Structure 1
Amino acid sequence: MKNLTSLALVFALVACQPSKQTEEKQPEVPAYKAPEHHSASLTNVFDAHGGYEQWSKMKLLSYEKGGESTIVNLQNRKIRLESPQQTIGFDGDDVWVTPDTVDASRARFYHNLFFYFYTMPFVVGDPGAYYEDVEPRELSGKAYNGIKISYGENIGDAPDDNYILWFDPETNKMEWLMYTVTYGSGEPSDSYHLIKYEDWTEFNGLLLPASLQWFQYDGDSVGDPRGEATLFENIEISEEAPSDSLFVMPENAQIAPLNAGE
């Protein structure tokens, strides 16, 4: 009986010992660290739209607008735009256009123009940006808080461009964007254009707009809409990267000049 009791105690002690599998620690996932250059007010806007951490996970964005389809690798900003008239791509070095018979003089300016507008506010979180809170302003009868975004030298093709992001002071959601255009001029500008962002919809945890409406703006008041709203459809954003082959320059392509007229 003694032996049986001793054997039972041994089994009980073995059963109580933690297994090697439970002792092994799972590798720790590094905690997300927000970029240090982001301002507090901009971070609040990001959070209202799903958070910059969630945006940073995304690798693919695609959408259609006005008969043109766009696909982007969000990690390296390679892009491909297809329309019945032409295909424009950026392979990480050059902007290319096919066929080589079309006018490519504005392709460098155009290739990421709507991508940049569409991915507000997240796109202004890129490195090299500087932020300044500006005085609240009334637009179409409503008061908004604002953040001015400027860029350091040699950041992008138009480092002198400025943006002012206007957001609801209660929800922190973006509603308007003011921007200057300096591409090709080489000179800063104080003349702002104005866009209203509407129909925000959640995709993969992020709020993205379905409609951008340009408005007349004389520097003090909002005027009439400028044409029809630009609508975005078949929107997809995901953590799965697009194939890099989409952005490779075809043999029959031409390289777009850096500035129009070159």
Structure 2
Amino acid sequence: MKKTMTLVCAILFVSASHSQQQEKINYLKTFAKAYGYVKYFHPSDEASETDWNSFAAFGAHEILKCQNQTEVIATLNNLFQPMAPSVIFSNTKQNYDIRAITPSNTESYEPIYWQHKGVSKDMIHQDQRYSSIRVNSYNEIDESRGFGSLTLSIDPEKYKGKEIKYTGWVKLKEGSEGSGHLWVRVDKSDKTVGFFENMLYNPITSTEWNEYEIIGEIDDLASELFMGALLIGDCTLF
């Protein structure tokens, strides 16, 4: 009987632990949905000027502290209220009085709103086919569009299965506001990406000459090999 009771208690403990973990995941999903709606659609200046990467990390940390839905709702309101005062989180339907944030005389104002053709806002790999515009805004529409790249394409056939080493001496111009990156990408015949590195987590920010290196492997299924350099922000790379 003692062994049976021990086993039952262990099963109950594991089950409770799994349930709590799933609740935390659900809380994070709720935060992620709210994050996306406000980041890409709320028209306020505060939202457009927010460092959304830092906010995502901070917000997730705060949400994981929550023990129940009531705390999640309170935390969401605290997180988003400064940048999106017209967004309210609640378990019940709320009637928000938009007059609270509407100027008394609107004749000299134009409505501000986001207009997306695809999404380019905050995307590292920019594509001219996609754009994000905050209509009627005096602020810069999308700071992430300060992006440029240089690409070299190489036939990978005779390099399949071999190691690739891409080395360069690089520096940023004095006064640059942004970062430089070397990058290598291997595309495979099955339409997936093989080795890929773009120095996202160790960008070039120095104005002194330094040597940078990328080492990877060219997959046996490699169909295309690309390498080059890219810029993010208002900067010049040598």
What range is the shorter-chain TM-score in? under 0.3
Tell me which protein shows more helix as a share of its residues.
2
Tell me which protein shows more strand as a share of its residues.
1
TM (norm. structure 1) is 0.24
TM (norm. structure 2) is 0.25
